């Protein structure tokens, strides 16, 4: 088996040497020889990738190559850094440095010679004569019609053959006669059979949504924490009480969840329970016996079902039969066409039916197999896949999952070499975690997994290349993706638990990644002898799930960690905002011993007031994330990280961060996320960061606004503008409206009063920026510009304190791509508001808050056809909700906050009067909130450039208004 992570590393080495050629002139010839030798190995491995031999000796020496390649890269990293230091120093001990490099390269060359002899033996014994394999390099980028399928692999996979099972489950859930017999409904079956999909179909069914009053979905997974699960469930059932829930003691959580299930009709889904231990820890939160509330659980083990409730309603999804299996494979393997009956070659159909029979009727296995076949429209390619499938089904020992891992393993082996490390990298993230697509691209770039060289010379931006790779994995159904509503691009992804098992197994076999958890380690999956053979090799990547006891199972002094280049620390999953206290000795050990780090990810950790100065020791770092962590000061040594590409400082909102101006030394920075709150006493200079592609949370009160003029490569900007008229005019006319800019997407929050004609003209220029996506306007607007002045790309608009006298809906409803609209704090001071027929064609979220004079709101038939979420807050004179809301068939949530009793009574009357018209469309979940104190809006920014709302109960005393 060819080692693909090694291959991408060889490409990195080649490019590093090529790009540093001017510096290598004075380096001993051994280093040049290394490049030549590795280039020969690279050519050989291109051929080996197509053959995919399974010999144990081959695996061992490929592992040796990997270790050599990593060590060579370390040499080059050290050498390049010395070159950089030479530019900053007057004296450089060149002879000593060259001597050290020469000694290290001599050792590496000796190891390469040994590997080359092994390669010659490998070729001589005839393995090269194994079957002819197609070049996966060229196949990887063949953009044919077979790849133009729509993204169907979101959370809801194609559902074939089990519609009747869904209906049966729904009938049982809403049958009130079952209240006396069944409180627990269990879906049990092997992995990949579709338990979660079946549960989700029932959970979202319109009859079920109309029957129950409150809903909660919790994925339990292997590494559960009872408190975390109970918090998540209770927060879903009572979202308005999130703050109080986060502060509850364990006993209070149990009592409140118990009480709520007795007072309301609740449907709670416990997805993917692996053992009875979870129920033993959480059972006291769930009423015994029968009642109106129901629990729907999914598990692979029958004993879990009977342990939870011996009288539970037991549901076992069946496997697909041969016809249904072929139907699902056919649907996924072939492009969607207008003709319903797609004619295919009879031989393809025969081979397809043979292969799908090996999947045992498991939908996940069929979908993954379809992802393989979809890229291979020729008969001989299907024959070859059939042969490979036979090999892996017999060679992989995963009988406990019905052979599904054989299919999943084949999908991995079939990946082109560029995609294999992309897939293995997903194993870094905790189970069931949604992975931000943009974060993933940044990590891939930091490790050199994606680079412009991967794109074969095309002028494609790095993030677009990352998205292309993730699309490739999605089109093979190896990852589940979620798309942005506004532009259809990938927003996040996740791994099915079985696919994650495959990912971790392959990562272990190839020594790509080591995972460590607070439960000491993952319960070991079965691993091949090859995995055991390389288990003693140096560890290069670490993924660590941490709790406050981390020092007992993780030591930075472990010698096997000395060559780690990627360390990703995740907290034990928590619902509340409290971070995990990060032990100081651990961080000191990281800074002192992990000097070759390229990636450091620390999420939701609480440090002492100041981050250690020693963070400047990570001189090779490309990616540093401290997102949602808590500390007060960033050390000036951050300026030492000269290779840094991504810096994420979106710390906890209550970390009022002081930042040093040494940040301007990070000349290679591409992505900068500034903190939401600052306490700098000086202006933060950003103009030297000329390579920035993305800048988030830029604030003109923190940095000079003219710094933006120097950031000519900026493509994505989220900024807060608090400026005088002349400054506002300058930044809009001399920067934002220039066609020569590279800006592609912007989000602004603007504090300004647009009164005069001049000011309104500036407003028209602002709202007309072609790259504008999100806009938050805070301040008086004498007259709202007509709709044609607004950017056609605007998807989110917030108006605050605008004081508009004329109905803004007449203008805003004509914006073609508006998805979210918020009118807050006297944005409109008139009495009547109307949403006309055909208005707001794409609007999904509407928030109306504190409109003091609003008395009447009309919604004509045909308006807001896609509305999902409606919030009405503190509009004291509004008499009733529009009757036409019953016609909004897609609405999922109506939240009522601090409204008069008459309004709430009228809403309940409408529900009663129109119940039979709407119950099977959508049940209105009307939440009655207690009267709240005035909210306090703090000047701080969160992701996307939107204002954060802080409730008085969560604000520190010194911040509260008198």
pLDDT in tens, 742-779: 888 999 999 999 999 999 999 999 999 999 999 999 99
What local confidence, expressed as pLDDT, does residue 203 receive? 92
Percent of the chain clearing pLDDT 90 (strictly above): 30
Interstrand relation of 646-648 and 671-673 (parallel, antiparallel or unpaired): parallel
Q: How far apart are CA 623 and CA 489, in angstroms?
A: 23
Q: How far apart are CA 886 and CA 879, in angstroms?
A: 17
Query: Degrees (nearest 5) of the Cα angle 509, 515, 519?
Result: 130
From the list 152, 81, 99, 716, the residue with the least C-alpha distance to 462 is 716
Q: How far apart are CA 325 and CA 360, in angstroms?
A: 9
What local confidence, expressed as pLDDT, does residue 579 receive? 54
In the DSSP assignment, the letter for residue 177 is: G
Q: How confident is the model at residue 335 (pLDDT cuts 50, 70, 90)?
A: low
Burial of 274 (0-12, 13-18, 19+ CB in 10 A): middle
Query: Degrees (nearest 5) of the Cα angle 68, 72, 76?
Result: 170
Q: What is the pTM of this model?
A: 0.75
Q: How far apart are CA 551 and CA 560, in angstroms?
A: 17
Average pLDDT over residues 323-350: 72
328: which strand partners?
none
Neighbours of 173 (CB within 10 A): 21
Instruction: Give the residue, 190 or 328, on which the prediction is more confident.
Output: 328
Q: How confident is the model at residue 839 (pLDDT cuts 50, 70, 90)?
A: very high
Q: How far apart are CA 899 and CA 154, in angstroms?
A: 38
- Residue 75's region, left for phi above 0, alpha for psi from -120 to 50, else beta, is alpha
Neighbours of 399 (CB within 10 A): 9
Give CA separation, 465 vs 252, 371, 438, in Å: 49, 20, 11
Question: Quick one: angle between helices 404-413 and 497-509, nearest 10?
Answer: 60
Query: Degrees (nearest 5) of the Cα angle 836, 841, 842?
Result: 140
470-494 pLDDT, tens digit per residue, is 998 887 778 888 988 888 889 999 9
1-18 pLDDT, tens digit per residue, is 445 555 555 555 555 555
Q: How confident is the model at residue 313 (pLDDT cuts 50, 70, 90)?
A: confident
775: which strand partners?
748, 797
Query: In this structure, is the dihedral angle defined by the CA atoms of residues 430, 436, 437 and 442, taken in order, positive or negative?
Result: negative
What local confidence, expressed as pLDDT, does residue 674 receive? 95
Q: How far apart are CA 383 and CA 855, in angstroms?
A: 70
What local confidence, expressed as pLDDT, does residue 368 receive? 80
Contact 768, 742 (CB under 8 A): no
Q: How far apart are CA 298 and CA 317, in angstroms?
A: 11
Average pLDDT over residues 178-197: 81
Whether the pLDDT of residue 343 is over 60: the answer is no
From the list 727, 726, 732, 734, the residue with the least C-alpha distance to 746 is 732
What's the number of CA atoms in the CB half-sphere (13 Å) around residue 895?
Answer: 17
Element (H, E) at 96: helix 94-124
Is 777 in a helix, a strand, or coil?
strand
Interstrand relation of 313-315 and 294-299 (parallel, antiparallel or unpaired): unpaired
Is 628 in a helix, a strand, or coil?
coil
Contact 278, 250 (CB under 8 A): no
Which two tokens mark 922? 């959508």
Q: How far apart are CA 813 and CA 823, in angstroms?
A: 13
Contact 618, 591 (CB under 8 A): yes
What's the number of CA atoms in the CB half-sphere (13 Å) around residue 796?
Answer: 17
Contact 829, 803 (CB under 8 A): yes
What local confidence, expressed as pLDDT, does residue 711 receive? 92
Contact 64, 111 (CB under 8 A): yes
- Name the least confident of 22-36, 532-546, 858-872: 22-36
Helix boundaries (H) for 825-939: 901-913, 915-918
Residue 672: CB partners within 8 Å, gap ≥ 6? 646, 647, 649, 686, 689, 692, 694, 695, 696
Q: How confident is the model at residue 815 (pLDDT cuts 50, 70, 90)?
A: very high
581-623 pLDDT, tens digit per residue, is 666 667 777 777 787 889 999 888 887 766 778 888 888 899 9
From the list 561, 664, 570, 667, the residue with the least C-alpha distance to 625 is 570
Question: Quick one: angle between helices 4-19 and 29-51, nearest 10?
Answer: 150
């Amino acid at each position: 088996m060819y080692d693909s992570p090694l291959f991408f590393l060889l490409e990195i080495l080649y490019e590093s040497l090529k790009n540093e050629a001017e510096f290598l002139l004075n380096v001993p010839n051994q280093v040049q020889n290394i490049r030549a030798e590795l280039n020969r190995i690279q050519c050989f491995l291109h051929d080996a990738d197509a053959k995919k031999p399974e010999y144990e000796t081959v695996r061992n020496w490929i592992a040796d190559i990997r270790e050599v390649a990593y060590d060579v890269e370390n040499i080059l990293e050290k050498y390049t850094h010395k070159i950089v230091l030479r530019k900053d120093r007057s004296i450089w001990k060149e002879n000593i440095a060259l001597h050290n490099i020469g000694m290290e390269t001599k050792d590496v060359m000796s190891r390469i010679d040994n590997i080359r002899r092994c390669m010659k033996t490998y070729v001589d014994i005839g393995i090269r004569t194994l079957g002819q394999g197609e070049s996966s390099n060229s196949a990887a980028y063949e953009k044919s019609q077979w790849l133009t399928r729509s993204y169907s692999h979101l959370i809801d996979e194609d559902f074939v053959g089990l519609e009747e099972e869904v209906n049966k489950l729904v009938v049982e859930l809403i049958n009130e006669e079952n209240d006396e017999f069944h409180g627990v409904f269990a879906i049990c079956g092997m992995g990949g059979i579709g338990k979660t999909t079946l549960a989700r179909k029932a959970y979202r069914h319109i009859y079920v949504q109309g029957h129950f009053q409150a809903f909660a979905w919790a994925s339990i997974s292997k590494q559960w924490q009872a408190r975390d699960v109970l918090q998540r469930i209770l927060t879903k059932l009572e979202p308005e009480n999130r703050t109080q829930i986060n502060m509850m003691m364990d006993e209070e959580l149990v009592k409140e969840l118990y009480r709520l299930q007795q007072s309301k009709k609740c449907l709670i889904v416990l997805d993917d329970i692996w053992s009875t231990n979870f129920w033993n820890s959480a059972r006291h939160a769930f009423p015994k016996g029968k009642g109106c509330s129901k629990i729907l659980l999914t598990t692979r083990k029958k004993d879990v079902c009977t342990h939870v409730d011996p009288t539970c309603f037991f549901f076992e999804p069946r496997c697909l039969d041969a016809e249904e299996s072929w139907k699902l494979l056919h649907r996924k393997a072939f492009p969607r066409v207008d003709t319903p009956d797609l004619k295919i070659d009879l031989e393809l159909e025969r081979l397809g039916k043979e292969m799908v029979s090996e999947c045992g009727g498991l939908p996940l296995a069929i979908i993954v197999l379809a992802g393989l076949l979809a890229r291979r429209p020729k008969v001989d390619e299907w024959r070859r896949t059939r042969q490979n499938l036979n090999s892996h089904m017999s060679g992989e020992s995963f009988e406990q999952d019905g052979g599904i891992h054989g299919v999943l393993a084949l999908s991995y082996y079939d990946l082109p070499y560029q995609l294999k490390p992309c897939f293995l990298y997903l194993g870094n993230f905790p189970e069931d975690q949604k992975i931000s697509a943009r974060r993933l691209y940044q990590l891939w770039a930091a490790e050199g997994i994606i680079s412009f060289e991967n794109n074969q010379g095309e002028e494609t931006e790095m993030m677009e290349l990352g998205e292309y790779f993730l699309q490739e994995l999605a089109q093979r159904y190896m990852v589940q993706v979620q798309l942005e509503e506004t532009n259809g691009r990938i927003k996040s992804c996740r791994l099915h638990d079985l696919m994650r098992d495959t990912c971790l197994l392959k990562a272990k076999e190839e020594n790509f990644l080591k995972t460590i958890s607070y439960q000491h380690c993952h319960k070991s999956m079965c691993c091949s002898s090859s995995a055991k053979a390389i288990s003693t090799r140096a560890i290069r990547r670490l993924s660590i799930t941490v709790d406050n006891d981390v020092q007992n199972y993780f030591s930075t002094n472990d010698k096997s960690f000395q060559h780690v280049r990627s360390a990703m620390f995740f907290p034990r999953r928590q619902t509340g905002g409290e971070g995990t206290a990060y032990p100081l000795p651990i961080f000191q050990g990281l800074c002192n011993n992990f000097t070759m780090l390229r990636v450091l990810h620390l999420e939701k950790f609480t440090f002492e007031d100041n981050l250690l100065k020693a963070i400047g020791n990570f001189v090779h770092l490309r990616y540093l994330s401290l997102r949602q962590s808590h500390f007060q000061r960033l050390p000036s040594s951050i300026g030492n990280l000269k290779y840094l590409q991504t810096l994420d400082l979106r710390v906890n909102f209550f970390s009022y961060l002081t930042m040093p101006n040494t940040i301007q030394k990070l000349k290679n920075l591409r992505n900068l996320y500034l903190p939401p709150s600052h306490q700098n006493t000086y202006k933060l200079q950003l103009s030297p960061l000329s390579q920035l592609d993305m800048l988030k949370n830029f604030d003109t009160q923190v940095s000079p606004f003219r710094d933006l003029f120097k950031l000519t490569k900026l493509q994505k900007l989220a900024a807060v503008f608090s400026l005088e008229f002349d400054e506002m005019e300058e930044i809009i006319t001399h920067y934002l409206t220039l066609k020569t800019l590279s800006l592609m997407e912007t989000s602004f929050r603007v504090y300004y009063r647009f009164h005069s004609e001049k000011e309104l003209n500036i407003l028209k220029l602002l709202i007309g920026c072609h790259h504008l996506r999100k806009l938050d306007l805070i301040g008086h607007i004498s007259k709202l510009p007509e709709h044609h002045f607004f950017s056609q790309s605007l998807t989110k608009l917030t108006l605050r304190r605008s004081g508009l006298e004329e109905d803004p809906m007449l203008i805003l409803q004509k914006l073609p791509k508006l998805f979210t609209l918020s009118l807050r704090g006297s944005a409109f001071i008139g009495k009547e508001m109307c949403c006309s027929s055909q208005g707001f064609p794409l609007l999904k979220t509407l928030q109306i808050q504190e409109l003091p004079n609003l008395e009447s709101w009309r919604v004509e038939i045909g308006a807001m056809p896609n509305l999902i979420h409606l919030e009405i807050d503190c509009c004291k004179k509004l008499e009733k909700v529009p009757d036409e809301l019953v016609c909004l068939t897609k609405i999922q949530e109506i939240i009522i906050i601090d409204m008069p009793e008459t309004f709430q009574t009228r809403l309940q009357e409408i529900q009663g009067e129109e119940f039979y018209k709407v119950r099977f469309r959508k049940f209105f979940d009307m939440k009655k909130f207690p009267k709240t104190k005035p909210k306090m809006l703090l000047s701080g920014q969160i992701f996307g450039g939107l204002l954060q709302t802080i409730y008085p109960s969560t604000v520190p005393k010194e911040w509260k208004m008198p």
